[in-house]
Amino acid sequence: MAKELLILAPVSGKVKALSKVDDPVFSGEMVGKGFAITPSKSETQVISPVGKGKVKMAFEGGHAYGILLKPVELLLHIGLDTVGLKGEGFEQKVFTGDKLKKEKLITNIDLDILSKKAKSTDTIIIVTNETLGDWKIERVAKTNVKAGEVLYKLVK
């Protein structure tokens, strides 16, 4: 019997392949496999990409989160080169150890600040290479997606 894990869109916007992300670490799938979303201009919130999970690690500044969705781990990375903003443009709402559920607010974002000061606003949601194993990724959202809708699924 096949197992399935759903990965939800943390923001509304345009779905893009990782190969189209302007960062060699993500586009080269060095950290993991998945997809990116270019947030719509009106987006102000980032919500949980899982129906049930746990924040394994919240990076300082609120730009990235390691999320445990047993048995895999996800990396949610908001924007490119956002670590240098040191929290500017982010209002972090969850921290290491917090439990996640569908549509739980992770952080508020200021897209004006991110658009001006970050390399990109692309929000990346990947399954880490270390935990992907024999799970297969199946894209569900084709072009545009709304926050909370299924972005892709993992099938085993």
Q: Is 18 within 8 Å of 38 (Cβ atoms)?
A: no
| CA–CA separation, 117 and 14 (whole Å) | 21
DSSP 83-114: GGGTTTTEEE---TT-EEETT-EEEEE-HHHH
The reply to whether 63 belongs to the active site is no
Put residue 74 in one of left, alpha, beta given phi > 0 → left and psi -120 to 50 → alpha: beta
Angle at 75 between CA 72 and CA 77, to 5 degrees: 165
Query: Could you give the maximum distance between any two Cα atoms of the chain, in Å?
Result: 48
Query: Which residue out of 37, 77, 126, 154 is catalytically annotated?
Result: 77
Active site residues: 77
